Amino acid sequence: MKKHIANHIYHVEILPPKQDSEKLDADLQAFAEKYQRVLDSGYCICLTDNAMGHLSFQGTEMIQELGLSVKPDQVMIHLNTFHTKANLDDILQACIGQGIRDLLVVTGDGSDRLPKLEPADIGASGVESVTSVELLRYIGQTYPGAFNLGVAFNPYEPEDHEFAKLDRKIAAGAMFVITQPVIARNAVVDKLLATCPLPVALEAWMSKKLHLLSQAVGYEIPESTVFDPIETLRLLHRTYPQCGMYLSLLGFKTQYHLITDTWVS
C-alpha cells in the first residue's frame, strides 16, 4: 500500500458478474475489458467478494477462466468470512498461484445462499462467530508471509467501538487500512490518520448518486443532492495527501479518463 500511495496508484474496484446474470457472456466481456484497462493504466484492480451479499463469481476464478494476467502489486482480492473452509483455502491457493499478494479481509455481508466459516473451521476459539479478525489470524498463520493483509475501517460506526476493532485487526496481522466512503474532511478519519501506524486508503465514492450512501453514513442523504465525484476526489487528495484512494463505482465510460490528472501532490 505504501508503494501504491508513493506512486499515485489508484485502487479501482471491479465487481465480478453476478451468479444470476442473464447475459453472462456480455458481463464477462465487460469485466475483462475493465480489468485490462485498469491493468494497462498501472492501477490496482480490486475484486469484490460477493459484495452486499449478492452471489457473484470469485475474482480468482474470473482471472483463471478468462485467462487474465496478473502483474505484481496490481491485483487485490477481497475475502470475507462467507465461505466453506475448503473454498477459502482454494481461493488463497489460487491467489498464491496467480501471484496475488494483496488481500482485503472483511467480515462481509453474507446471504442465505452463502456458507459461513465456523470458528472451529479455522482454529478460532473463544468466539461465537468468525469475523475479519479471526480470518486475518488464520491467513497469517497458515500462509505466513504470503499476503499483504488489509482491513476495513468504518468512520460512521461508534468511534470507540471501531477503533477497538481496528486494534484487534492490527494485532491479528493487518498491514493496511481502507475506509468506508469519505466525501469530505472527516474528524474520525483525522483521528485514524493521527493514531494508526498502518498506511490508509480512503474509499472515494465515484457514483453521482450520493443518496445511496445514506445507510453507510447513518443519516439520510436526499436523493436530489448534487454530487461531483471527480471534484470530491480532488478535494480528498488535497485534504488527505498522505492517503491512497480506493475508487468504488467508478464509471468506466464517463469517468475513467478524468481520473488520470486528479492525483496531484
Partner 1 sequence: MRIVVCIKQVPATNDASIDPETKRIVREGVKAILNPFDTYAVEEGVLLRERFGGEVVVLSMGPPKAEAVLREAVSQGADRAILLSHRAFGGSDTWATSYALACAIRKLGGADLVICGKQAVDGDTAQVGPGIAAHLGWPQATHVMQVRSATPETLVAVRMHEDGYDVCELTLPAVITVVKDINSPRVPTLRGRLASQKMEIPVWTPEMIGADTAKIGLDGSPTRVVKTEPPPPRNKASRRITGSPDVCAAELLHELRTRSLV
| Backbone conformation region of residue 174, classed left if phi is above 0, alpha if psi is from -120 to 50, else beta | beta
Cβ-based nearer residue to partner 1, 18 or 211: 18
Burial readout 87-104 (b: 16 or more C-beta within 10 A, e: otherwise): ebeebbebbeebebbbbb
We find the least distance from the C-beta atom of residue 236 to partner 1, in angstroms, to be 35
Which of 6, 24, 26, 127 binds partner 1 (CB under 8 A)? It is: 24
Which of 15, 47, 62, 151 binds partner 1 (CB under 8 A)? It is: 62
We find the least distance from the C-beta atom of residue 140 to partner 1, in angstroms, to be 26
Cα atoms found within 13 Å of the Cα of residue 157, Cβ hemisphere only = 13
Cβ-based nearer residue to partner 1, 83 or 137: 83
Do 148 and 103 meet the contact criterion of CB atoms below 8 Å apart? yes
We find the least distance from the C-beta atom of residue 78 to partner 1, in angstroms, to be 15
Rg for the chain, CA atoms, rounded: 18
Cβ-based nearer residue to partner 1, 37 or 116: 116
**Is 55 among the residues that bind partner 1 (CB under 8 A)?**
yes
We find the least distance from the C-beta atom of residue 19 to partner 1, in angstroms, to be 6
**Is 75 among the residues that bind partner 1 (CB under 8 A)?**
no
Cα atoms found within 13 Å of the Cα of residue 34, Cβ hemisphere only = 26
**Is 58 among the residues that bind partner 1 (CB under 8 A)?**
yes
- Indicate the residue type of 228: D
Nine cell digits for residue 112: 442465505
Terminus-to-terminus CA distance in the chain, angstroms? 17
Cβ-based nearer residue to partner 1, 120 or 171: 120
**Is 65 among the residues that bind partner 1 (CB under 8 A)?**
yes
Pattern 91-120, partner 1, x by CB under 8 A: ----------------------xxx-----
Cβ-based nearer residue to partner 1, 41 or 87: 87
Do 193 and 200 meet the contact criterion of CB atoms below 8 Å apart? yes
Cβ-based nearer residue to partner 1, 30 or 198: 30
Q: How far is CA 218 from CA 82, 108, 186, 211, 226, in A?
A: 25, 18, 14, 11, 19
Do 111 and 54 meet the contact criterion of CB atoms below 8 Å apart? yes
Binding site for partner 1 (CB under 8 A): 19-20, 24, 55, 57-58, 61-62, 65, 84, 87, 113-115
